[in-house]
Chain A
Amino acid sequence: MIDWIGLGLLALAAFLLLLFIFLRRKTPAVVRRIEAYERLNRAVGLAVEKGTRLHISLGRGNLFTARGGSALAGLALLRRIVERTSVSDRPPIATSGDPTLAILSQDTMLSGYRAAGAEEQYRFTTGRLTGLAPFSYAAGTMPIAHDENVSASVVMGDLGAEAALVAESADREDNSLIAASDNLSAQAIFYASAQDPLIGEELFAGGAYTGAGPSHDASLNVQDILRWLVIVAILAGSVLKLIGMI
């Protein structure tokens, strides 16, 4: 038995992604301005100049569940941040609430330093598992903003209500907060806590806005096309329902 609809949609998305990666290698995408990512780019530069750290919270997204997507987006952003801050005296710190994610964050950081030709800068203690339960993760993450000379906090991944505690700890230290989550509760919290909140799929645009390469630009293009397809499908479904055909 084959699920043709699912397989077809997947094949379409894969084809479009490959096509746009090819196109974006020649002409980079023009993207709209997102204030949070502008702030992030400024924060990266400032951290290197001032000799402060960036703290990247990757959340508790288990990679074996649907929540892993946001964690992977956070890892892609971490990689770019590490590359861009590799000349800094104080390397960024990545915290996570899932052991697999913590291991991947260490590996991602090592890859970032290698790509920047600064492998000796890597410290395994900068990729940390701070807790396994939601609140123990928050409790382990909160002191970092205060203790580790952090100037900007990036919270990107799957978090629940505990996101408020993480955001508050960054705010108390007057750090820039760039925050996004795939969880609706956390999004509402970040809307109230962050200077420039990232809503919905903006979470996945981090790579494109930090120059992570054509595949990230292509992802945004394909997301736009698929979003229009979903809109057309919803409208067509509504009309068909209205005229009694389904």
Chain B
Amino acid sequence: MRRIVSVFSAIFAISAGILVLLGYFVRIDPLPQVRDLLIDWTVIIAGAAVFVGILNLIMVHMEKIRTRQKGAGYGALLVISLFFTAVYGVVFGPEDPLMRLSVDAVIIPVEGTLMALLAVTLIYASIRLLRRRVDIASVIFLAVALAFLIAVVLIPIIPVSNSFLQFLAMFSRGGARGLLIGIALGTLLTGLRVLFGADRPYGGN
């Protein structure tokens, strides 16, 4: 039975992938329509996946509480908060003042704090870079980062010629494009592997 499911899921995934891909390149009826229909189905499945994901989150924390693992208290807090927020949101809707307060007074400040923490973390990581890897590339990396920070502060104060800025941007743009081309090629080949069934992240490989 498992073998049949595995073969069926592979056939369905590969044929759906080929049809969607062809729909992008061959705009002759009915391929674009088939592509749109398959994408619509995918969006519905992705919506259902959010519920499965949240269920998984609850199960992981319930398991933590049941087996009294480290951080089980935080897990309990998460499950209780999730339950009350979800019930309140379903009953009173997302526009309710208390519901909005839970977003404005809890979630946004917490994310803001993490963002502030991020700045400190990045400075700390940069300082430790020279301790971890002392090579020419690390020195150039830090020098460029420092030069960029100084430029960001000074450019509004000291007028710098536009052509000089464009000259500097040429290097960063070139480097970024080089990296992105490499990533695009990698993505293409990874997609093709999935399309050929060589990689099957949907199971049964």
- Kindly list chain B residues whose C-beta atoms are within 8 Å of the C-beta of A13: 188-189, 192
Measured CB to CB, the closest approach of chain A to B23, in angstroms, equals 11
A72/B202 in contact, CB under 8 A: no
Q: Which residue of A lies closest to B129 (CB)?
A: A192
B121-135 CB mask vs A (1 if < 8 Å, else 0) is: 110111011001100
Instruction: Given A72-B199, A165-B118, verify A227-B205 contact (CB < 8 Å).
Output: no
- Kindly list chain B residues whose C-beta atoms are within 8 Å of the C-beta of A6: 24-25
A132/B50 in contact, CB under 8 A: yes
CA distance A241 to B182 in the complex (A): 24
Q: How large is the interface on B (under 10, 10 to 19, 20 to 34, 35 or more residues)?
A: 35 or more
A103/B198 in contact, CB under 8 A: no
Q: Which residue of A lies closest to B176 (CB)?
A: A184
- Kindly list chain A residues whose C-beta atoms are within 8 Å of the C-beta of B202: 104, 107
Check if A210 is an interface residue, CB within 8 A of chain B: no
B56/A102 in contact, CB under 8 A: yes
CA distance A147 to B61 in the complex (A): 13
Check if A128 is an interface residue, CB within 8 A of chain B: yes
Q: Which residue of B lies closest to A181 (CB)?
A: B183
CA distance A3 to B182 in the complex (A): 23
- Kindly list chain B residues whose C-beta atoms are within 8 Å of the C-beta of A140: 57
B54/A129 in contact, CB under 8 A: yes
Instruction: Given A72-B190, A103-B49, A165-B118, verify A127-B125 contact (CB < 8 Å).
Output: no
Interface residues of B in 159-205 (CB under 8 A from A): 176, 178-183, 185-196, 198-205
**Given A132-B53, A204-B189, 8 additional A-B pairs, CB 8 A:** A3-B27, A21-B198, A69-B183, A104-B201, A108-B201, A139-B114, A143-B74, A195-B132
Closest 6 CB pairs of A and B: A69-B187, A99-B53, A204-B186, A201-B182, A215-B198, A129-B53
Q: List 9 A-B contacts (CB under 8 A).
A: A1-B27, A13-B188, A14-B196, A73-B190, A102-B56, A111-B203, A135-B114, A215-B198, A227-B182
